[in-house]
Every structure is written in C-alpha cells, then in structure tokens.
Homo-oligomer: A and B are copies of this chain.
C-alpha cells in the first residue's frame, strides 16, 4: 500500500512564497496537455537547458560539477531560464536530474566527465533491497527550492514542468550502478527474484509520488515521468514492472497545485510505442512518444482508447478542470490523451531548410489539428523524441521552434477554412 506522504517542515514557508506567483501569460502548453484547442502547437525540448548552449557551459563552469549546478538554487534557476531567452518556447522544465531520488536514498550519485552518472552503491541483493526506503524528502529540498525559485523567476511567462524518473528507470540505474548497454543486473534481479524487484519498484513509486507532490507544492505546473528505459523490457514484463509502478505513482499524485490549477501529468516511455494502447489507460493527460511511432497512428490509438472508455467524454474536461473539482475529475470520463513528441534530435544537425521540412512532416503526420470549432480528438505538443544533443548548433533550434509555431498556425487556418 502507498505510504502516507511525509510533510516536510519547509512547507509553511513555501506556501507564503507560492501566493506571490505571477499570473500565467502563455497557457498554450497547459491547455494542449488538457486536450483543449490552442492557436498553435506548443513546443518545448527535452534537455533544452543543456550543454549545447554556451551560456549553460559557462554556468556549469562556475558551479564546478553537474551536481554543483543542480543543487545550487540560483544556478539551477539561471540555466532553466537560459533557453527561454533564446527561443520562444512554450514551457520551462526544472533543471535537475532523474537520479536525485536514488541519491537521496543514500546510493551516492556522482557524474564522471564523459561517463555519465555513477552510483557508489548498487541494489542487487536481498540485503541491498532490505536497506532501501523512501528517502526523507528534506534531503531533496534543493530541488523544491529550485522549483519555487524558477517559478518566481519565470514571472508567469510560461508554465514550469517538474519531473522524475519512473520507478523502473530508477531501478535500472540503482541495479546497474550507472548506464548500461544490456541491463543485465536489473533484469537478473527481475527474472531471478521478481519479489525483490517488486519491493524496489514499490519503494521507488512511493518516493517518486512524494517527490512529484512536493514539486507541485513548490510551484510545478505540470509533472512528467521519464520512463527512459521502459522500452528495454519484454512484452509482459513492461506491463508488470514498468507500467504498473508508474500507475502506482499516478494514483498518489495531487491533481491540483496550491493555486487550484490542474497539474497535467505526462508519461514518456522511450521505445514504448508498441504498448501505447495499454499506456492510454494510465491516469495521466499526456503520453510522450519517440520518433519510431507514427504520430497519426498514435492519435488513432489514443482516440479509440478514450472512446472505448467513455463515449460521452467530450465535454467532461471543462467541468473537471474547474478549481477544486479533483473528485469530479477522478470519476469523469476523460478526453483522449494528448501526445507529446517526437522529432529525432539528430534532425537538428541538418541545414535549416531540412529542419523545417522535417518539422512540417511531424506536424502533418499528427493530422488536422484540434480546433475550437471541432470536437476534441487528441492534441499535440511538439518536442524531441529524446534529449537534445550537446553537439546541436544553437541557431538550428531557432528554426525548429519557429517552424513549429508558423506551420501549426497555418494548419489551423486551413482546418478552419475547410470547415467554413
């Protein structure tokens, strides 16, 4: 059973801070998350605050290390806002790492230059699992402080997305001790001792739920679960170990922030296209996709899933999205999941005209946009299918963002004209 969320002592102070958040000026991303029509397709980029930006590299230089950057509220705020100064993105995402939670569990996270994350201790044996527990959220205060600081610094310009790794993805890193090419240790644990694997996933799920709830309390306006390694699982094992533990997270999440606004939930399983129909039953608002899945086919799947679930679901969101309507929302039928993704980040190495053509291809593959006049039929949030490469020329990103906005407006104009 889920544990009761701990209430860290810092809450009271933050509550006051939260009251001063500026009103949101650009709600396009949040509206699209909730299945509502928008004037254009919103866009943000996974890892948009990152090494491809010289200003990011300068701040990281000052911070000394990746964790020095992530744990320093002012630096984390600074780098989160850097891409927004360059590009008219429709959302900001907390600068942090998916491995903060296992670090707070005492596994000893470090980042070795050129090698990625490493844990000092791994979780592979019965004893390792016995020592594991949901960490004191106070150890992650630096994250929640960063959320509040970034939300203030954004001053309502665009919404702020909080995030966490999925229970399964965290378990991968915890068992492997870092990245892996074969997932041998975590899968050995899973196939040899499914009972221990389940215990790890339950602890991770409860920790992730508390972690995301604390981010929501601190000011996050949407939350995303990164199931980066769900796609390495076998059919059957994915449903049992990854999907079920993500569902356990979602079941514990707050539906609204302290300001009463609905906090949309995004779930992204890299390589999860084959399981989209099952993922469409998750209690979330948006499903992330990578570039292997055809967007039009994905849209048909989430629409069918919503229709199978509730034929009368079209007007329900408007009621449910009202402040304080959490209970109504839990019971109400839901619109089709919004879809987020999914251009290959390597497209950004092509010349500007090729980038723009690929952007149009992705937007077109989703199909005619949901417009104000038409019945909802899933909405689209443009993103990459994976984090942006550190080698990306920053000026190429401008072309991508501009073409998303330009072409998606044009598509809506065509759709409106076609309907008279």
Contact = CB atoms under 8 A, between A and B. Distances in A.
A271 B350 CA distance: 25
B349 A192 contact: yes
Contact of A274 (B187, B192, B273): B273
A398 interface: no
Contacts of A237: 344
B291 A234 contact: yes
A365 to B, nearest CB: 8
A336 to B, nearest CB: 20
B188 A346 contact: yes
Contacts of A238: 292
A391 B182 CA distance: 11
Contacts of A389: 182, 184
Contacts of A271: 271, 292
A346 B292 contact: no
A351 B192 contact: yes
A291 B190 CA distance: 15
Interface residues of A, number: 35
A347 interface: yes
Contacts of A57: none
A196 interface: no
Contacts of A351: 192
A179 B273 CA distance: 24
A119 B390 CA distance: 24
A191 B274 contact: no
B349 A184 contact: yes
Task: Say how many copies of this protein the assembly contains.
Answer: 2
Interface in A323-375: 343-344, 346-347, 349-351, 354, 358, 361, 365
A127 interface: no
A288 B346 CA distance: 27
Contact of A354 (B191, B234, B346, B354): B191
Nearest to A275: B292
Interface string A276-318: 0000000000000001111000000000000000000000000
Given A182-B389, A274-B273, A274-B274, A191 B292 contact: no
Nearest to A290: B234
Given A291-B235, A292-B233, A293-B235, A346 B182 contact: yes
Contact of A293 (B274, B291, B354): B274
Contact of A191 (B184, B192, B293, B350): B350
A19 to B, nearest CB: 44
A87 interface: no
A183 interface: yes
A5 interface: no
A64 interface: no
Contacts of A343: 234
B235 A349 contact: no
A389 B192 CA distance: 16
Given A184-B389, A184-B391, A273-B274, A346 B191 contact: yes
A9 interface: no
A231 interface: yes
Given A191-B358, A354-B191, A234 B344 contact: yes
A191 B347 contact: yes
Contact of A292 (B274, B361, B365, B391): B274
Given A191-B358, A274-B274, 5 more contacts: A184-B346, A188-B350, A231-B292, A236-B294, A238-B292
11 contacts: A183-B346, A187-B346, A187-B347, A188-B350, A192-B350, A233-B292, A234-B291, A235-B291, A236-B365, A274-B274, A274-B293
Top 6 nearest A-B pairs (CB, nearest first) are: A187-B346, A234-B291, A191-B350, A188-B349, A192-B350, A235-B294
